[in-house]
Structure 1
Amino acid sequence: MLRPVVVGLDGSPESLAAADWAAREALRRGIPLRLIHAWEGLPPDAADLPELEAPRHWARRILRGGLDRLNERYPQLYLSADQISRPAADALVEEAAAAEMLVLGSRAFSGLGGFMSGSVASATMAHVARPVVLVRAGQGLEDEHVPDAEGRPCARTPYRAVVVGLDPAHSCEELLAFAFESARLRAAPLRAVYAWQLPYMPTASETKVRGALRETAERTLAAIIAPWRDKYPSVEVHALAEEGRAAQVLVDVTKDAGLLVVGRRIRPARLGAHTGPITHAVVHHVGCPVAVVPHE
């Protein structure tokens, strides 16, 4: 049975942009799309309370509006939807367990409303074992493609590059699998990025050590991606071993990218931060959709 792309709807512009991105991704992968709206509601014995009618109506409207919108825009897509009477984070984590990926709207710059408000997004990402893609409001089909010859947005030009941030100290297999497949589906170039830093040392030694560290970083990166080049010969790969802080390097490299893929270490603990400082930073400062891929 095919795993669907699951998208969470909450009525915000961010979640609508996420639903559009998820629909296009489901079509690229040839898999279904499932819309989820989570509404905690009240126990069954309170179901007849008149004050519940307005929130019930709004919840149904969110889901129906999302279905109608996507059916009109993507008529060839196999689409399903469900309203779940559970807290949003719990519902999304459960749904994501059987999904190819979970897609959420991101309002990270403002920090207000949507799935990025409060603890919903962080709680969801912290406990989902599948990739989570965060999409900002305003992201449309044209934003996935490079501008035309006059610099105007265009949906008929080639796809923008996919960028994957790698840390050789941790497993990169899940990230590379997601990134290479995403690039293949788009016929897009892939930029594999490894950020390294020069340790503190006397100024007189910097030049020699910097050169040696750069060569080591380039060899390390080449060795990591070599098997994947062979596995995906059609993907144009650019290996970038860049000096600097990882978060800033990724922000710079993704300024004209269509998708960024970063990792999140799976931790068994229920409490505490689970995204890591680099992933947390890029989610807040990268403009393109960000795929957060869990790994051991």
Structure 2
Amino acid sequence: METITATEAPVVLVRVPKPPGADQDAPVGASRDVVVGVDIHQPCDQLLCFAFDEAARRGGRLRALYGWSLPPVVRDALALEAAELDMAPDIARSLGDMLAPWQRKYPSVAVAELTPVGAPSQLLVQSAADAALVVVGRRSRRSRVGAHIGSVTHAVIHHCAAPVAVVAHR
């Protein structure tokens, strides 16, 4: 982890393959897709630039994912469904707006915009089950105190079978 927080350059982590005969998980990298986790409320140009570059280089699709949660005040099933129906279009539009300039810059990259309700780290790990690469970010920080990678990046590093690229961004 220290290397990840000590550099501004992207760091790619690749799991060591299991020995022959060991229980194998789903085939990693079965597709050429790149999965990128984004926060629609924060700028992440360095992250998107890296993800689009990798998808273009691999000739794969880019799956851009923003996982979100419903407000905790929503308690019953009907209110949950109504809140999701009300919020989902705005969230999808925000993700689309974030990706639009990059799609114009990389017209050869097909993009899947994913905005499911759920924990972002779990959604990223699930979405990356067959991906060639998962791209997550970490905020660049000048302070030497406190966490230097977020909880989503931490979880993806530890639970994702696919290679994980951690990209520092402001």
Q: What is the TM-score of this pair, normalised by structure 1?
A: 0.52
Q: Is 1:199 paired with 2:71?
A: yes
1:144 offset after TM fit, Å? 6.8
Residue 24 of structure 2 corresponds to none
Residue 217 of structure 1 corresponds to 91
Q: Tell me, what secondary structure is at the counterpart of 1:136?
A: coil
Residue 91 of structure 1 corresponds to none
Unaligned runs of 5+ in 1: 1-121, 147-158
Q: Is 1:134 paired with 2:4?
A: no
**Aligned mates of 2:9, 2:75 — CA distance in 1:** 45
**Aligned mates of 2:146, 2:3 — CA distance in 1:** 13
1:21-40 aligned within 5 A: none
- Runs of 4+ aligned structure 1 residues displaced above 2 Å come to 143-146
Higher RCO (C-alpha under 8 Å, 6+ residues apart): 2
Count of aligned residue pairs for this structure pair: 160
**Aligned mates of 1:144, 1:245 — CA distance in 2:** 22
Q: What is the TM-score of this pair, normalised by structure 2?
A: 0.89
Cα displacement string for residues 81-112 of structure 1 (whole angstroms, at most 9, x for unaligned residues): xxxxxxxxxxxxxxxxxxxxxxxxxxxxxxxx
CA contact (8 A) 1:126 1:273 kept: no
Q: Percent identity?
A: 44
Larger radius of gyration: 1
1:1-296 aligned within 5 A: 122-138=1-17, 146=30, 159-200=31-72, 201-203=74-76, 204-296=78-170
CA RMSD of aligned residues (A): 1.5
1:272 offset after TM fit, Å? 2.7
